[in-house]
Structures are given as structure tokens and as C-alpha cells.
Amino acid sequence: MATTWLNNGLPADVCAREPSLQNYGFYRKLNTGNYEFISFCDPKSQEWIAVYQDDFYKILNALLPAKSGSK
């Protein structure tokens, strides 16, 4: 079981043979509340790391200093 994993981008040659694959990918939620689409054919898609929301908050809570005034 993994807390984080790399996303599954596609090799450029596959995307070149099947241009419709450009329409498939994943969305990430931005700080503005909007969403950004990342195609599986974007070379950067293979560099993105995903994490379950609950695990993300556990990591943050373990690494960030406690708020002043809290225990």
C-alpha cells in the first residue's frame, strides 16, 4: 500500500498514434476553486504525485508546527 504514487502519463509515441488521447487525463483543484485539466499526453503528467486527501492532511499535521495556543 502506498500513501503517494506517480500518475500514469502516456508515452509520446502512443499519443502521436492516437491524437484523441489528448482529451483524457485528470483534473487538479486550484486554490481559486477552479479546476485545471492535465492530459495524460502532457510529458509533465508523469511527474505529478497523487495522494489521498486524508493521507495528505496526516502528512501535513505531522510535519507542520502546531498553531500557537494549541496543544
39 contacts 23 by C-beta, under 8 angstroms? yes
42 contacts 9 by C-beta, under 8 angstroms? yes
Q: Which of residues 4 and 14 earns the better pLDDT score?
A: 14
pLDDT in tens, 48-67: 888 888 998 998 899 988 77
In the chain, DSSP finds a helix count (H) and a strand count (E) of: 2, 4
Task: Tell me phi and psi for residue 29, to 5 degrees.
Answer: -85, 130
In the predicted structure, residue 47 carries a pLDDT above the cut 90: no
What confidence tier does 69 reach under pLDDT thresholds 50, 70, 90? low
**49, containing H or E segment:** strand 49-51
Task: Give the start-to-end residue ranges of the domains of the chain.
Answer: 4-63
Rounded to an integer, the average pLDDT of 20-29 is 92
Mean pLDDT of the chain: 88
- Listed in sequence order, the residues at least 6 apart from 68 whose beta carbon sits closer than 8 Å to its beta carbon are none
